[in-house]
Structure 1
Amino acid sequence: MNIEKSNIANLPTRYGKFKIRAYKQDHQEHLAIMSQDFETLAAPYVRIHSECLTGDTLGSLKCDCQNQLDLALKFIAQNGGLVIYHRQEGRNIGLLNKVNAYALQDQGRNTIEANLELGFGEDDRDYGIVEEIFKDLNIKKLKLITNNPEKIKYVESLGVEIVERIPAITKSNKYNENYINTKKEKMGHMF
């Protein structure tokens, strides 16, 4: 895997002060957003957050992505650790196809049905870059902030010890209830 990485820079935010490093893998660029004390932590809190432009940036109410990112950044700023901003939009189907999936959801499909109807898998994300980030940042133990059992399995498959799992629970609304129920009932997310 050919990976380019940036220098580490300071990133002051509304959540607190972080350090940031970018990683480029083929045509995708990902971020490691670290607390100031990250290097001193034996088992940092870690959130692998999958990109969601419509939620994270535009505030879409169709998902819980922005709420989970806000929760993670606040938590990491206070408790130390790392957010990996995993840039694989729409479970790696891309923004154009994600909007097409939204249109199918408007017609009654759930997120999985929409992806399948468009010719994609339920979840086409590739977590290979996460392994490279863990190696680069020397992460051997962590406290994982997730509801997703697939992310737990992936981290364990790398030989990284999960000391604790912290749920990423946020409030639902009338627009994302079906989305959250699909994640819970069809994908096994732990809420």
Structure 2
Amino acid sequence: MEHSTTTLKTQLGRFKFHCFSWGEHEEDNVLVLENDQFTDVPLVRVQSACYSAEIFGSLDCDCHAQLSESQRLIGEDGGYLIYMLCDGRGAGLLNKVRGMALGEKEGLDTSDAYRKLGLPQDPRDYARVAEIIKYFDLDRIHLLTNNPRKIEGLESAGITVERVPLEISSTDESRSYLETKANKMGHLLSEFMK
């Protein structure tokens, strides 16, 4: 693993900006915003890229809002925003767009579209994230997440995780996507819990 650090000034705070690299491809890099002004146990957000929302402002998911809220909280309270360059929940950008197109054409939700394409719903692996957390000498974190798989992935690496909910209220555009995450993918979203 290679690593380089600089400083990043943002609208939501000043951070140490790290790039951890395991290879030559873009997805082999993991970015980290660090605010080391925390006491005891830091907030940590593990965010996967969602270029359609984070770059182009797509309204059909909560990804941009989760990223902004996480950065705001970490900017205020200290901690680490760990950004994985793996769009489509790790399936890749091309497969994500294929799934979106299939959903649009056949009226499928993201879970069923991935299934029809022969893709796992969430192939992300958190081994590199765990390696980064250990790089910062952390063995206990407060994890901003609604996804039990992230908790399990980090706990299996020996990290003690306390979940901090990061729920964004649905809109007319995002309701279907968030409902799918809750009902078919097990995300802990109180708005859709029965």
Aligned partner of residue 53 in structure 2, secondary structure: helix
Q: Which runs of 5+ in 1 are unaligned?
A: none
- Give the alignment partner of residue 177 of structure 1, picking from 150, 167, 175: 175
CA contact (8 A) 2:125 2:153 kept: no
- Taking structure 2 as the reference length, the TM-score comes to 0.91
Distance in 2 (alpha carbons) for counterparts of 1:25 and 1:186: 32
- Taking structure 1 as the reference length, the TM-score comes to 0.92
1:123 aligns with 2:122: yes
CA contact (8 A) 1:42 1:141 kept: no
Structure 1 ranges of 4+ moved more than 3 A: none
User: Over aligned residues, Cα RMSD in angstroms?
Assistant: 1.3
Distance in 1 (alpha carbons) for counterparts of 2:111 and 2:137: 35
Residue pairs, 1:28-177, within 5 angstroms: 28=27, 29-37=29-37, 41-106=39-104, 107-162=106-161, 164-177=162-175
Aligned partner of residue 90 in structure 1, secondary structure: coil
Question: What amino acid maps onto 1:98 in structure 2?
Answer: K
Deviation larger for 89-98 or 73-82: 89-98
Q: Which runs of 5+ in 2 are unaligned?
A: 190-194
Question: What amino acid maps onto 1:140 in structure 2?
Answer: D
Instruction: Name the % identity.
Output: 39
Query: Deviation digits for residues 133-170 of structure 1, max 9, x if unmatched?
Result: 012111111111000011111111111112x3211111
Report how many aligned residue pairs link the two structures.
185
Q: Which residue of 2 aligns with 1:22?
A: 19
Q: Which residue of 1 aligns with 2:6?
A: 9
